[in-house]
Amino acid sequence: EASTGKRAMEIVDYAKPDVIIMDVKLPDSDGITTMKNIRMRNKNAKVLMFSGFDDEYYVVRALESGANGYLLKNVGGTELVEAVRQAADGLNPISPQLTGKVIPLARQNTKVSDRLTPREKEVWKLLSNGSSNAEISKTLYVSESTVKFHIRNIFHKLGVKNRVEAAKAAYRSTVA
């Protein structure tokens, strides 16, 4: 058990848990950011967000960031234990009250490229074709700092870390 994000990181490093139950809000940090950091250190760990917040912003942000499930704190002990078992088995438990909020949003975001602005799509396509920042800048008549800004946004929106991963995402998409 950890009462802060910092302590959670320390525990994960030595305990190597299979399933982690984490609150969205922690005294010293954002639980979703802490979860991302934990997942970078222990890719096999399953993370269930456990929160009193039923706002779709937190739910979607948590799930898009890699949470394996999202439970409201009004679940009983039996349901919590079952959710931990489900997460350990690779399932994605979500409190029933949240499905009405999450499913319509998931249907809206079926294509990865829908998250990008038209200009970001242009930059993404050029980037995926191997163009350098200078070449993209010249082609689109924008500064290199603007190109870097768009690339940072693209990486964030697609959840990728580098140009190769962005190119792979483009290949799987209908944009490139």
- If DSSP codes are grouped into helix, strand and coil, which group holds residue 15? helix
For the segment 96-129, what is each residue's pLDDT rounded down to a tens digit? 888 776 666 555 554 666 778 889 989 998 988 8
The domains of the chain are located at 5-108, 112-172
What is the CATH number assigned to the segment(s) 5-108?
Answer: 3.40.50.2300
Are 5-108 and 112-172 in the same CATH fold? no
Q: What is the pLDDT of residue 111?
A: 61
Q: Are 39 and 47 in contact (CB under 8 A)?
A: yes
Q: What percent of the chain has pLDDT over 90?
A: 35
Tokens of 12: 């994960």
Per residue in 131-169, pLDDT tens?
A: 899 999 999 999 999 999 999 988 888 888 888 878 877
Do residues 45 and 38 touch, judged by C-beta distance below 8 A? yes
CA-based torsion, 125, 129, 131, 133: positive or negative? positive
For residue 104, the model assigns a pLDDT of 60
Which DSSP state fits 27? S
CATH 1.10.260.40 fits 112-172, yes or no: no
Prediction pTM value: 0.59
